[in-house]
Structure 1
Amino acid sequence: MQRGKYQPLAFRNTLDYDANFVKVIVLTGLDNKQNPERRTPLGRKKRTYGTNLPGPRITYTTTTQDGDQQCGSSVQLPQASYFALQLPYTCFGLGRTPNFVDQLTVGLGSKLRNWTQLIPNSQIIVVPKPLNEPSHWKAQLFVTPSKLILMSVVALGGTCLVIVFIILVLYIKEKREDKQERLQESHRFHFDAM
């Protein structure tokens, strides 16, 4: 190798698109009976959801921009005692598809529960309580807004301002025409008055 032949280079990725994801965590739903009931500042009962649950199977299905079916499946915390420790949640990368997640299925043993039409770029917390009644399992959706939402609000606001400006211009024009018409009417000679 010759000295000075190789140079380190850096590439800055400036692609301006959102990569969508869905993050799911399944909790135990256990609470500590020894602690007194806690209240929020507004007086509502504070919810406790327990800790992350090892073993639930999480599957999602969505439609890509090309119209193809995209599926993914994972197990939450397949292991946590040796090698690299896993994250307490399951994260699915959806790519550039801005579509809803058509179906999310959470399974514990032989029990399954489906949720439909979930928003991408969100975190879903599932509380499977009671375990033997999947119809009572709760899911809470926490949305992470992206830059596209801000751009959409700006575009909507700009459109509304343009429409308001057009309405004002037409309103002022109509008022002027009405004033001129009244002025011409008052200057017109009425033969009926003779």
Structure 2
Amino acid sequence: MSDQALSELLRRAAEGDPPPPDGGVSVLPQGAEATPAVLAFTAHHVVVADVPEEWVRARLPADDLSAPLNPPFLTALCAATGRAVNNIDAVLVATGPAVAPELGLTPADDRTHERVRRAEDFRTDIRVWTCPGGLVLLGRGVGGRWEVAAEVDPGFRGKGLGRALFAAARALAPQGVPVWAQVAPGNAASLRAVLAAGYRPVGAEVLLK
């Protein structure tokens, strides 16, 4: 039931109906999720982990909206789950029809690329496409959602290929499903590319590896 609750929460967020900005914290069991996570929306957080709800609330100051993504709580959650913080990412989503740019993308079976290996730590059902100078992949991540990652070779950067790869992912995904992107806030180039490809900010999140 918790897995369905998380999937439904994400579906509604993709449609523009995130959790209410009430300063609250929702706690969901990890269930079938591969990794514990903390999801942040505007003035509402969701903790997905196999820890008691009382444990979570006892470690979060009631008057600090940012506490679930701050080091004290994340350190405690890592200790309780035996995991480590991977990264705190900005989360974006794209919905609606999309047309794939003409990039000459070719399905690839290569699982040795570093970007693909990193994706396998957090995603299933990974599909990879390559083109001259770039790679894009889709996989099932948090709550079963479809997530995109892209890589542009150094010699091809600054020419719009990243934006085109993120746009292509929207057309490559199963018809009608939202496509999600997680971007490190400091990676300004990727953030600009994702925004330019039609993705909109939804919140932030951290996965525990």
TM-score bucket (shorter structure): under 0.3
Q: Which has the higher contact order (CA 8 A, sep 6+)?
A: 2
Choose between structure 1 and 2: higher helix proportion.
2
Q: TM-score, normalised by structure 2?
A: 0.20
Larger radius of gyration: 1
